[in-house]
Amino acid sequence: MQALPKCARSLYAPFTHPKHTNRIRFSPVSQPQPWTRSFHASASYRALPLAFDLYDNSGEATGAPILILHGLFGSKRNNRSISKALARDLSRPIYALDLRNHGDSPHEKEHNYVALAQDTEAFLKEHNLKDATLIGHSMGAKTVMTMALRDPSCCANIIAVDNAPVDAALLSDFPRYVEGMRRVESANPQSQKEANKILEPFAPDLAVRQYLLTNFARPGPGEPYKWRIPIHTLANSLGNLGDFPFRNPEEARFNKPALFVRGTKSHYVADETIPIIGRFFPRFQMVDVDSGHWVISENPEAFRQAVVEFLQDSE
């Protein structure tokens, strides 16, 4: 554990943060301001029922629940291995969710962080889940941050993976992925092999293509391949997904423990975002993991260790 020098602890002034520091812990530097919601953050949408998988280590995981939320174009299946590992290590049940417009969950034209947060808040209430830990990657990370700032009582702590509470346009990779997926949709390929060939110019990395193509499947035996996700809706929502619904840390603050995990080869959580993270989440810690943006799949063991250590320290 590395401590910052006293002069660098004010989160209201810029400071540099060494990219490869293993873990830095921050403490509150001032009394929290009264919490209010901005209009955008308190907008109301129809909550959708979310599909999920439960991992409870064969019934032996009986602690407080953990929810894990995937990123854009992902699904609950992406988090199968890490969910099993955390249920075993922490003896806590893990709920891996499909967010709206993904996986087996319903589709809806509204796709922004407030709508995603409201779906997940409704899931917590429906399943009577108390003192939960919320884990989210990328799109899921901004969703759990939104939940924590909308209603700090909804959870015990959060873990945000490779995203920050700032407005920042998605990397140009994602519009290219969408264009490639649209080309696949227009071509109506009869196999994943054909779809992969069409997608290759838009997603040269094989691992990324394989990730995207987990959404390309037959609805039933003998039926043609289709995207399981609404490409048009998600394409129209890319701007929303670069947004963050809270603008003013003086109006919303989460004073419970928060862990931010970022990939050392990723650009989603730049050093310049550290002060604003600290103002929204004054008790945050940060861990750097040797990976790109897809932290959990690229370095699952380092991620698992960071989560276990954080949650054991928080008990």
> Which residues are identified as catalytic?
138, 293
Directed axis angle between helix 173-187 and helix 206-213, to 10°?
Answer: 60
CB atoms within 10 A of CB 122: 15
Q: Give burial (CB, 10 Å; 0-12/13-18/19+) of 35.
A: middle
**Cβ contacts of 220 within 8 Å, gap of 6 or more:** none
Helices (H) and strands (E) in the chain, counts: 11, 10
3-state secondary structure at position 159: strand
Q: Are 51 and 105 in contact (CB under 8 A)?
A: yes
Q: Write the DSSP string, 222-283.
A: TPPPEESS-HHHHHHTHHHHH--S---TTT----S-EEEEEETT--SS-GGGHHHHHHH-TT
Residue 144 φ then ψ, to 5°: -70, -30
Strands 94-97 and 52-55: what pairing? antiparallel
Directed axis angle between helix 192-199 and helix 206-213, to 10°?
Answer: 130
CB atoms within 10 A of CB 59: 7
CB atoms within 10 A of CB 7: 8
CB atoms within 10 A of CB 197: 14
3-state secondary structure at position 52: strand
